[in-house]
């Protein structure tokens, strides 16, 4: 994914910054790197893993550059204030910013830590607190057994299982203090066949198997570090979407075929089409997919639309 020249450029970029050698060359390298990673992401349609890593790398370069620029900008602005006294005071502050390289590094690290901890805190809440509008209850032993069996197949620690009190087809997996929690709605269980339900569970378990929680946290942390850089609002959701496609592929491997997942997604898409009114809080929280929107708006969706997922699954030829 990152051939040697790119890897060297990547390393050089991060080394140039701390030594205060940021100049046109550094900017060119940075531009080249971001463009390169974005191109890699665009051309790696068939490998969601590669795509998401390339996007994360682009985010890393962007966030590093962003923090450096802010520190440099503050330094110049503060030292050029003309009012006597204030200038001196600000110059004192600016002395701190002459250490902008170290500040930038600390800033980047702090942003990543804050971003990660916010994300972790949010995702480690119990289900009832995370989604207060939903009702949860314990699942039957039979269903829990099935989840345990599939988790063993995936080689992960089995998540605890909860039932969502909703008739709409919904499923998601989240982190809690005691591990992962898988939530399936009654509507999903009662309307899908056994194979289809298994494929949906496999998709959710694949998020754990593929370490998607860590990847998502990194993407979110990078977005936090980037403050308001417009590109971050496009790249972060793109990372999420790539991981969804990857979870589909992993699920296909887990259940040994793509038909059940395609059929489940097609059924869920049909119900989304039929009930076309404003999405409810539950539908918004549903991790199955975003309703179809225009191409531009889709850039900001953290979930690919179901049509694209079905299409990607149909194109899988090895199963």
User: C-beta of 143: minimal distance to another protein in Å?
Assistant: 8
Which secondary structure element, helix H or strand E, spans residue 184, and what is its range?
strand 179-185
According to the binding rule CB under 8 A, does residue 117 interact with another protein? Answer: no
Using DSSP, state whether 172 is helix, strand or coil. strand
List of residues 6+ apart from 143 with CB closer than 8 A: 161, 184, 189
Task: Report which DSSP code applies to 281.
Answer: H
According to the binding rule CB under 8 A, does residue 310 interact with another protein? Answer: no
Could you give the CA distance from residue 280 to residue 134 in angstroms, rounded to a whole number? Answer: 11
Q: Candidates 42-50, 54-62, 159-167, 215-223 — which segment interacts with another protein by CB under 8 A?
A: 159-167
User: C-beta of 127: minimal distance to another protein in Å?
Assistant: 16
Q: Which is nearer to another protein, 168 or 232 (CB)?
A: 168
DSSP result, 202-265 = HHHHHHHHTTHHHHHHHHHHHHHHTTT-TTHHHHHHHHHHHHHHHHHHHHHHHHT-SHHHHHHH
Residue where the block lists tokens 């946290």: 217
User: C-beta of 100: minimal distance to another protein in Å?
Assistant: 55
According to the binding rule CB under 8 A, does residue 271 interact with another protein? Answer: yes
Q: Which is nearer to another protein, 110 or 195 (CB)?
A: 195
Task: Please give the span between the terminal C-alpha atoms of the chain, in angstroms, as a whole number.
Answer: 24
Number of residues in contact with another protein, rule: CB under 8 A? 26
Contact with another protein (CB under 8 A) among 33, 147, 189, 305: 189
According to the binding rule CB under 8 A, does residue 113 interact with another protein? Answer: no
Q: Which is nearer to another protein, 102 or 193 (CB)?
A: 193
Q: For strands 171-176 and 179-185, give the pairing.
A: antiparallel
Contact with another protein (CB under 8 A) among 178, 190, 307, 315: 190
- Chain centroid to CA 241: 7
According to the binding rule CB under 8 A, does residue 179 interact with another protein? Answer: no
Q: Which is nearer to another protein, 40 or 139 (CB)?
A: 139
Contact with another protein (CB under 8 A) among 192, 205, 219, 261: 192
Residues of the shown chain interacting with another protein in the complex, contacts defined by CB under 8 A: 137, 139-140, 142-143, 163, 165-169, 186-192, 266-268, 270-271, 274-275, 280
């Amino acid at each position: 994914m990152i051939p040697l020249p790119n890897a060297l450029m990547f390393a050089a970029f991060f080394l140039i910054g701390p030594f205060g050698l940021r100049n046109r060359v550094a900017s060119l390298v940075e531009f080249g790197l971001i463009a390169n990673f974005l191109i890699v992401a665009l051309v790696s349609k068939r490998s969601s893993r590669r795509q998401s890593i390339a996007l994360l790398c682009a985010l890393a370069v962007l966030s590093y550059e962003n923090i450096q620029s802010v520190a440099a900008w503050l330094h110049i602005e503060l030292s050029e204030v003309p009012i006597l006294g204030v200038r001196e005071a600000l110059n004192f502050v600016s002395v701190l910013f002459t250490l902008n390289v170290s500040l930038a590094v600390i800033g980047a690290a702090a942003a990543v830590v804050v971003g990660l901890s916010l994300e972790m805190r949010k995702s480690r809440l119990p289900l009832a607190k995370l989604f207060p509008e939903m009702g949860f209850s314990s699942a039957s032993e039979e269903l829990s057994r099935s989840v345990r069996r599939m988790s063993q197949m995936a080689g992960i620690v089995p998540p605890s299982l909860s039932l969502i009190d909703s008739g709409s087809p919904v499923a998601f997996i989240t982190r809690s203090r005691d591990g992962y929690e898988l939530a399936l709605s009654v509507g999903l269980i009662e309307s899908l066949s056994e194979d289809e339900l298994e494929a949906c569970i496999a998709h959710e378990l694949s998020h754990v198997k593929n370490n998607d929680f860590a990847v998502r946290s990194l993407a979110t942390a990078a977005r936090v570090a980037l403050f308001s850089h417009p590109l971050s609002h496009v790249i972060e959701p793109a990372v999420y979407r790539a991981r969804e496609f990857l979870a589909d592929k992993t699920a296909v491997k887990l259940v040994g075929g793509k038909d059940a997942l395609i059929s489940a997604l097609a059924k869920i898409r049909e119900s989304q089409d039929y009930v076309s009114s404003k999405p409810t809080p539950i539908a918004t929280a549903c991790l199955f997919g975003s309703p179809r929107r225009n191409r531009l708006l889709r850039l900001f969706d953290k979930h690919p639309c179901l049509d694209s997922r079905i299409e990607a699954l149909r194109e899988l030829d090895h199963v």
